[in-house]
DNA sequence: GCCAACGTTGGC
DNA sequence: GCCAACGTTGGC
């Protein structure tokens, strides 16, 4: 999120960035592309849930393969904001819908991310177990650069 | 398959 | 409200 202050004007700019983890052997990027869209459900962790709730339509989300691959492979886009998780009747939990936005030219590995001092504070490094996490504008730009993507 | 990190649960 | 025990995630 970014608030721009310009003279007498304060206006809201742009979108939030996120990262979600998917175990490719359960649900891979390739399968996601094949499906055309997916709903992200089954999250049972409050921190992750709070991030899902904050997501807005149009936000971009790094798709990270955990366990196997351990790399960011693509970008998803939020197409439906948080709603009751259909896999439970407990009201605490939500689901969010994504569609594939684009595959990264070059996947960015966890090893590369850990090796870059500028990314030392990234949640992916600091909070290893968090499955839905925010990505700052700066972190997003650095990862995109590593992926060989134009800003 | 091991284990560190961390979230959750439950006894007190 | 503390903290030990336990379960889960995820890197290696």
Q: Would the Cβ of A45 be found within 7 angstroms of any atom in strand B?
A: yes
Domain spans in chain A, listed from the N-terminal domain onward: 15-146
Name the DSSP class of A129. Answer: T
| Average pLDDT, integer, range A7-31 | 80
CA-CA distance, A32 to A79, in Å (whole number)?
A: 14
Closest nt by CA–C1' to A111? C11
Q: A15-146 has which CATH code?
A: 3.10.590.10
Instruction: Judge whether residue A14 contacts strand B, using its CB and a 7 Å cut-off.
Output: no
Residue A149: pLDDT above 60? yes
A12 CA, C3 C1': Å apart? 44
Please name the nucleotide lying closest to A64, CA to C1'.
C10
Using the CA of A65, give the nucleotide whose C1' is nearest: C10
Distance (Å) from CA A25 to C1' B12? 43
Which residue in this structure is represented by tokens 């798709």?
A63
Predicted local confidence at residue A10, as pLDDT: 45
- CA A66 from centroid of its chain's CA atoms: 13
pLDDT in tens, A30-75: 999 999 999 999 899 999 999 999 999 999 999 999 999 999 999 9
- pLDDT the model gives residue A7: 45
Closest C1' nucleotide to A67's CA:
C10
* CA–CA distance, A54 with A78 (Å, rounded to integer): 11
Residue A148 DSSP symbol = T
Rounded mean pLDDT, A73-88: 94
A93 CA vs B9 C1’ separation (Å): 19
Which of left, alpha, beta for A147 (phi over 0: left; psi -120 to 50: alpha)? Answer: alpha
pLDDT in tens, A119-132: 999 999 999 889 99
Q: What is the pLDDT of residues A92-116, one digit of tens each?
A: 899 999 999 999 999 999 999 999 9
Q: Is the CB of A128 under 7 A from strand B?
A: yes
């Amino acid at each position: 999120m970014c608030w721009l202050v310009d003279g007498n004007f304060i206006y809201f700019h742009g979108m939030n960035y996120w990262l979600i983890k998917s175990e490719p052997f359960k649900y891979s990027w390739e399968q996601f592309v094949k499906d055309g869209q997916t709903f992200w459900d089954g999250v049972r962790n409050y921190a992750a849930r709070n991030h899902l709730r904050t997501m807005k339509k149009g936000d971009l989300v790094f798709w990270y393969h955990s366990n196997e691959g351990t790399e960011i492979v693509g970008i998803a886009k939020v197409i439906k904001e948080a709603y009751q998780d259909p896999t439970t009747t407990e009201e605490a939990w939500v689901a969010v819908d994504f569609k594939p936005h684009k595959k990264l030219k070059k996947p960015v590995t966890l090893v590369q991310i850990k090796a870059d001092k500028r990314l030392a504070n990234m949640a992916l490094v600091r909070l290893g177990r968090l499955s839905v996490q925010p990505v700052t504008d700066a972190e997003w730009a650095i990862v995109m650069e590593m992926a060989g993507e134009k800003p």
